[in-house]
């Protein structure tokens, strides 16, 4: 993909976080990767959304070296890179501090699958990562945030659960491109809110596994039939 087009895509996706009320101030970032070159385009660090321009997006390689751009890339860039390295089918990554998803992260609890809205996008609970070690926190913190996410998905298909909450930190989501990653981020926040309300009404809320499978498969399964062909 043309880097200019990818910068525009990532720029618009970052603005979408604001439009969907997922970020305030500079609390979030979106990136996308060109798999043919291994180059990642990401939001610059600490730049206000209403001041950003498409040309401000920073291009880095998969070693984190800045290839193009005059601004520093997001401080979360090493986390995004770890996800691109290990989740080979994803093309976009989003990180926010959206309220409900972050509340579950601060509580250190998986977001349980309790309804069909959740099952339409995520095949199971949205996992919360483990506590990070002292070495991870004091060492390559952002890179190891990615490492811990990848570890959490050992045995889990990241295409079937396109999001995670990092304990005490917040949510990351991903998709085939930046737009889909933002879409999944919006859904993740909404199902986090729904789960909170559901458990407030009934702490014993559960989901029928057959209904979970039905809703996930009708959108993502081999014989998916949701939407137009």
CATH number for the domain that contains residue 145: 3.40.225.10
Residue 223 reports pLDDT greater than 90:
no
Residue 89 reports pLDDT greater than 90:
yes
Q: Alpha-carbon distance 41 to 60, whole Å?
A: 6
Is the residue at 140 inside a domain? Answer: yes
Is the residue at 65 inside a domain? Answer: yes
* Structural domain containing residue 131: 3-220
Is 78:32 a contact under the CB 8 Å cutoff?
no
Is the residue at 118 inside a domain? Answer: yes
Q: How much helix, strand and coil, in percent to the nearest 5, is found in the chain?
A: 40, 15, 40
Comparing CA positions, the residue from 72, 93, 78, 83 lying closest to residue 140 is 78
Is the residue at 226 inside a domain? Answer: no
The model's pLDDT over 145-164, given as tens digits with 9 standing for 90+, comes to 999 999 999 999 999 999 99
Give the β-pairing of 92-96 and 66-68: unpaired
Is the residue at 128 inside a domain? Answer: yes
- Confidence band (pLDDT; 50, 70, 90) for 33? very high
Q: What percent of the chain has a predicted confidence (pLDDT) above 70?
A: 99
Q: Please state which of the ranges 44-58, 81-95, 214-228 shows the lowest mean pLDDT.
A: 214-228
Q: Please state which of the ranges 73-77, 81-85, 172-176, 214-218 shows the lowest mean pLDDT.
A: 214-218
Is the residue at 229 inside a domain? Answer: no
- Confidence band (pLDDT; 50, 70, 90) for 224? confident
Q: What pTM was computed for the model?
A: 0.94
pLDDT at 229: 67
Is the residue at 228 inside a domain? Answer: no
pLDDT at 1: 67
Residue 211 reports pLDDT greater than 90:
yes
State the CB neighbour count (10 A cutoff) for residue 87.
18
Is 62:149 a contact under the CB 8 Å cutoff?
no
Domain total in the chain: 1
Tell me the average pLDDT of the chain.
Answer: 96
pLDDT at 140: 97
Active site residues per annotation? 120, 226
């Amino acid at each position: 993909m043309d880097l200019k087009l990818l910068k525009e895509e990532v720029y618009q996706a970052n603005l979408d976080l604001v439009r969907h009320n997922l970020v305030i101030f500079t609390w979030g970032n979106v990136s996308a990767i060109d798999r043919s070159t291994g180059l990642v385009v990401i939001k610059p660090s600490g730049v206000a959304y209403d001041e950003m321009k498409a040309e401000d997006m920073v291009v880095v390689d998969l070693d984190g070296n800045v290839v193009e751009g005059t601004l520093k890339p997001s401080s979360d860039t090493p986390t995004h890179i770890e996800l691109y390295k290990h989740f080979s089918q994803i093309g976009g990554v989003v990180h926010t501090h959206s309220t409900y998803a972050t509340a579950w992260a601060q509580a250190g609890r998986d977001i349980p699958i309790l309804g069909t809205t959740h099952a339409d996008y995520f095949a199971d609970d949205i996992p919360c990562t483990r506590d990070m070690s002292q070495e991870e926190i004091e060492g390559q913190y952002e890179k190891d945030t990615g490492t811990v996410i990848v570890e959490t998905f050992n045995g889990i298909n990241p295409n079937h659960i396109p999001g995670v909450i990092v304990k005490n930190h917040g949510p990351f989501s991903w998709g085939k491109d930046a737009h889909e990653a933002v879409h999944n981020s919006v859904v993740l926040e909404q199902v986090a809110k729904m789960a909170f309300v559901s458990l407030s009404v009934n702490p014993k809320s559960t989901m029928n596994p057959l209904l979970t499978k039905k809703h996930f498969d009708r959108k993502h399964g081999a014989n998916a039939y949701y939407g137009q062909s």
